[in-house]
Amino acid sequence: GKLPFCAMGVSSVIHPKNPHVPTMHFNYRYFEIEEADGTKQWWFGGGTDLTPTYLNEEDAVHFHKTLKEACDKHDLKLYPKYKKWCDDYFYIKHRGERRGIGGIFFDDVDSPSKEEVFQFVKSCAKAVVPCYIPIVKKHCHDSFTPEEKLWQQIRRGRYVEFNLIYDRGTKFGLLTPGSRIESILMSLPLTARWEYMHTPPESSKEAEILEVLRNPRDWVH
């Protein structure tokens, strides 16, 4: 049946023009549902993840270490748990690859207490700028070729496939009466591309990132 609910959150997706600057997404949210007897159920969810067009191992390590430091302030078990959850969640099943190189992701978290989870979520949110902006500054003036731009557009096609087929947030938004469709689809890139049966050459930079997307790495040990 229908139950009163409250949902709030902050979400951001950045799709840079330069293919050497990774796409970054973060979302942190809170849900509350009132049962028929008046009791309330609540939970937090969210995460931060990175989707590079080309692999830069130094950037990947920096990104994951910054998120790990935010998690470790609260519990040393959180980062490995939510890192794996992120790798498993952003999986494009029909492609056999992840959307990106991961980060952290969690949902339906309702313990140990509302205040403790809220403090954890705030730590994660505060880590967004330090984990990502240094990467942007490092690469925003990098030169790139038309071929590298084409590969970026093909990877953005994969981003679209995940968001429209698998993403829980997109599905939830589209099923919510009176929702703003433009806000739900704001995560999609301005442009994307699909190439029939496209396979990058072996030992190429494009093949290198595909290997990581198919076999996630531990970036912090």
Give catalytic residue positions.
25
Token pair of 213 as six digits: 């997307």
Alpha carbon distances (Å) from 136 to 88, 92, 150 = 26, 26, 20
Q: How many Cβ atoms are within 10 Å of 92's Cβ, its own excluded?
A: 16
Cis, bond preceding 112 (omega within 30 deg of 0): yes
Residue type, 92: I
CA–CA separation, 166 vs 150, rounded Å?
Answer: 24
CA–CA distance, 74 with 90 (Å, rounded to integer): 24
CA nearest neighbour of 55 among 216, 219, 215, 209: 209
